[in-house]
């Protein structure tokens, strides 16, 4: 799926319930519904998610819920995207969009955030790799999570920094699957909290070394060596601010 198609899908998810919540009260209710949805996903998993439990805990009528968000899968996707975008908006990025350092910053920030919500991550990764996962919802989640690496991969394609046999869209998918696999192993206790973020970042950098060439290959190699000597978090902290921070 191209960046434009992913953006269109994300916009469609964002609009679920959006136009129907015009007042401050209704916007607050929407926020509460999405927050409770995430709570229940963490508690029950995606496959076990109950609309009845949501309605009871969020104090909302089932028909109101369906009118606002549509099907259960659309509601879950909206809740995950809302959380992703809210967290993304608060990351104090130092590097420009489409750069390797920006990709690393996002992975470190999101990985650090995930350390605080292990049950939620376990539920998402369990669904993602589950044999019975709904294909439509799984595809939507993939599109959301792929937003992390998409700008950088598109810049590699534009600068001809990938080997001719590498297709950008498939690389984005492979990197998404790599990160989700590391997250799943961590959620199951196979990777410690102390090593999780570094495993996440180094796994992606290792894959990128296999598909890149020229100047960008040398850049990735140098960055990987630095992170190996310190940590991914320390590397991010050492980066100078090259972008203007948003005014809050």
Please identify which residue in the block is written with the tokens 């991010």: 236
The angle formed by the CA atoms of residues 76, 81 and 83, to the nearest 5 degrees, is 100
Query: What would the DSSP string read from start to end of 80-92?
Result: HHHHHHHHHTT--
Residue 248 binned pLDDT confidence (cut-offs 50, 70, 90): very low
Query: Which residues, including other chains, have CB under 8 Å from residue 14's CB and lie 6 or more apart?
Result: 78, 81, 82, 85
44-103 pLDDT per residue, tens: 888 888 899 999 998 888 888 888 888 888 888 888 888 888 888 888 999 999 999 999
Query: What is the overall mean pLDDT for the chain?
Result: 86
106-139 pLDDT per residue, tens: 999 999 999 999 988 888 888 888 877 778 788 8
Please identify which residue in the block is written with the tokens 């995430």: 38
DSSP code of residue 224: H
**How far is 123 from 41, CA to CA, in rounded Å?**
7
Give the orientation angle of helix 72-88 with respect to helix 3-14, to 10 degrees.
110
φ/ψ of residue 212, rounded to 5: -95, 170
Give the orientation angle of helix 135-145 with respect to helix 3-14, to 10 degrees.
110
Tell me: pLDDT of 153 over 80.
Answer: yes
35-59 pLDDT per residue, tens: 999 999 999 888 888 899 999 998 8
**How far is 170 from 165, CA to CA, in rounded Å?**
11
User: In Å, what is the CA distance from 204 to each residue of 45, 66, 87, 153, 173?
Assistant: 27, 39, 21, 12, 12
φ/ψ of residue 59, rounded to 5: 55, 55
């Amino acid at each position: 799926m191209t960046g434009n198609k992913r953006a269109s899908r994300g916009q469609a998810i964002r609009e679920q319930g959006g136009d129907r919540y015009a007042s401050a009260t209704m916007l607050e209710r929407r926020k509460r519904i999405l927050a409770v949805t995430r709570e229940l996903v963490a508690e029950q998993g995606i496959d076990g998610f109950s609309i009845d439990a949501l309605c009871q805990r969020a104090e909302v009528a089932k028909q109101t819920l369906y009118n606002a968000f549509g099907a259960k899968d659309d509601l879950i996707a909206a809740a995950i995207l809302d959380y992703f975008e809210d967290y993304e908006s608060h990351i104090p990025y130092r590097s420009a969009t489409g750069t390797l350092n920006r990709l690393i910053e996002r992975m470190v920030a999101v990985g650090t955030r995930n350390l605080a919500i292990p049950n939620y991550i376990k539920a998402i990764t369990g669904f993602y790799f589950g044999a019975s996962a709904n294909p439509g919802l799984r595809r939507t989640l993939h599109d959301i999570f792929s937003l992390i690496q998409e700008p950088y991969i598109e810049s590699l394609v534009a600068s001809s920094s990938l080997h001719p046999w590498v297709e950008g869209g498939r690389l984005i998918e492979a990197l998404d699957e790599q990160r989700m696999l590391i997250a799943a192993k961590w959620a199951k206790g196979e990777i410690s909290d102390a090593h999780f973020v570094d495993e996440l970042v180094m796994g992606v950098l290792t894959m990128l070394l296999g598909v890149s060439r020229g100047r960008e290959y040398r850049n990735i190699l140098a960055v990987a060596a630095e992170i190996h000597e310190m940590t991914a978090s320390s590397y991010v902290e050492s980066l100078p601010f090259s972008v203007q921070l948003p005014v809050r």
